[in-house]
Structure 1
Amino acid sequence: MVKPKIGLSMLYCLGESFKQMTEDLTKLPTPYVEIIDDGFHALSKQRVSTLNTIGKSYNLQYSVHAPFADINIASPSKPMLKTMLKRLEKSISCANALNAYIWVFHPGLKT
C-alpha cells in the first residue's frame, strides 16, 4: 500500500507578507509545501530564488497553486482573457523554476 505524502498549503498565511511566509517555511512539520502564487505571495524571479534557497536548506519540495483572484478563463473579453492567460503562463514558468512537482489550477465560482 502506498503511504500518502502529507503536505501543507501556505494559503493559511496569504494575508501575511512574503517575508513572514518564508520565515514560516523554516518551521513546518512537513517537507511538502504548496506555495500560493497570488496576493502578497505572487511569485517573481527574485522570490523564486529566495524560495529555492530556503527549499535547498530545509529539503522542501514545492507545489504551486495558480493565481485565483480575478482569474476567469471563461471571460468573454478577449483582452482580459489574454492578460489572464499571460499571468497563468508566468505562474507555470515560476513553478518550473521552483522544480515544483505539481502546478494546481482549478476553475473558480464563475469559470
Structure 2
Amino acid sequence: MPPTNSIGCSTCCLMDRTLEEALSLVSRYTGLAEILSDGPHDLFGEEETCSSFDLRYTVHAPVADINIASENEHLRRASVRVVSDLADLCDRIGAGRLVIHPGHTWGEEMRGVAERALNRSLSDLATIQQDVNVRLALENMGAWDICFFREPGFLARLADGGLGFALDVGHAHVNGNLGPFLEEGGAIHVHLHDNCGNRDDHLACGEGSIDFRRVLRVLPRSATKIVEPASFRQYEKSIEYLRSIVP
C-alpha cells in the first residue's frame, strides 16, 4: 500500500480560489497536486504559478467545452488541439500524467458517428503521445449514458494506441464494475473518492461503500493516486481515513 503522503489532491475542490491559493493549501498536506485546467485554474494562463511551489504535478484536461468524440469534426479537432497544447505545457512543468475524458454523444441516434469520431481522436492522441514525455491517460466515466468508456472492454482500445488508463474508482463503483477494472489492472493513474454505489457523490474516502483496503492493495504501486473530493475538508477526511487503514 502507498504511504498516504504520496496521495495527492485535485484542485477541483478549490475552484473558488485562485490556482496560487489552491496550490498553497494543497502543498501543506502533500507533495502531489492534480490541476484541473479549467476556469480559474486554466494552465494556459497560469503556467508560471506552478514553478512557485515544490510540488509534483498531474494535470486534468478541461472538462468544460471539450469533447474528443464530438460529431462536429471542427470541434473534435479543436478538442484534440487543446489536449496537444496542454501536453506540451505538461512537459514544461514536469507533470507526470495528463488525464483526459473520453467524450460523449448527445443522443443514441448519433452514437455511431460519435464512436467513429472518438476512434479518430484516439489515433490522434496516440500520435501526440509519441512526441511528449507526459503520459496521456483516458478516464473511465460514471453512470451517464451519453459518455463513452464506462466498461473495462474499452481498455483494449487504449492499449492498441499506447495510451494510459486513469481509473476513477468512484465512477467504476457507480457502474458496478470496480472489481473487473481492478482485475484488469494496468491503471497508471487513479482518482480516489467514495459513494454508496447509486450516485457519483465524490464523498470522502470511507464515507461510502467502496472497499479501499482492497483498492489500495490491488493498485499498481507505480500508479499516481489523487483524491478527487467535492470539498477540501473531504480531502482531509480521506487522508485521515486512508492513513487509518494503511498498515
In which range does the TM-score fall when normalised by the shorter chain? Answer: 0.7 to 0.9
Structure 2 residue aligned with 1:29: 29
Quick one: which of 93, 101, 104 aligns to 1:98?
93
Distance of 2:91 and 2:32 partners within structure 1: 16
Which ranges in structure 2 are unaligned for 5 or more consecutive residues?
104-145, 149-247
Q: How many residues align?
A: 104
Matched position secondary structure for 2:46 = helix
Matched position secondary structure for 1:74 = coil
Distance of 1:70 and 1:47 partners within structure 2: 19
Relative to structure 2, which stretch is displaced further, 35-44 or 10-19?
A: 10-19
**Percentage of matched positions with identical amino acids:** 29
Given that 1:67 and 1:91 are in contact with CA atoms closer than 8 Å, whether structure 2 keeps it comes out as no
Structure 2 residue aligned with 1:8: 9
Structure 2 residue aligned with 1:110: 147
Aligned residue type for 2:43: L
Q: CA RMSD in A?
A: 2.1
Given that 1:48 and 1:98 are in contact with CA atoms closer than 8 Å, whether structure 2 keeps it comes out as yes
Given that 2:69 and 2:102 are in contact with CA atoms closer than 8 Å, whether structure 1 keeps it comes out as no
Given that 2:11 and 2:34 are in contact with CA atoms closer than 8 Å, whether structure 1 keeps it comes out as yes
Q: Which has the higher contact order (CA 8 A, sep 6+)?
A: 1
Structure 1 ranges of 4+ moved more than 2 A: 2-5, 15-26, 106-111
Distance of 1:37 and 1:96 partners within structure 2: 15
Given that 1:8 and 1:32 are in contact with CA atoms closer than 8 Å, whether structure 2 keeps it comes out as yes
Shift of the alpha carbon at 1:32? 0.9
Shift of the alpha carbon at 1:64? 0.7
1:76 has 2:71 as partner: yes
Larger Rg: 2
Distance of 1:17 and 1:53 partners within structure 2: 14
Given that 2:12 and 2:36 are in contact with CA atoms closer than 8 Å, whether structure 1 keeps it comes out as yes
Given that 1:62 and 1:100 are in contact with CA atoms closer than 8 Å, whether structure 2 keeps it comes out as yes
Distance of 1:22 and 1:33 partners within structure 2: 7
Distance of 1:37 and 1:19 partners within structure 2: 13
Which ranges in structure 1 are unaligned for 5 or more consecutive residues?
none
Given that 1:72 and 1:110 are in contact with CA atoms closer than 8 Å, whether structure 2 keeps it comes out as no
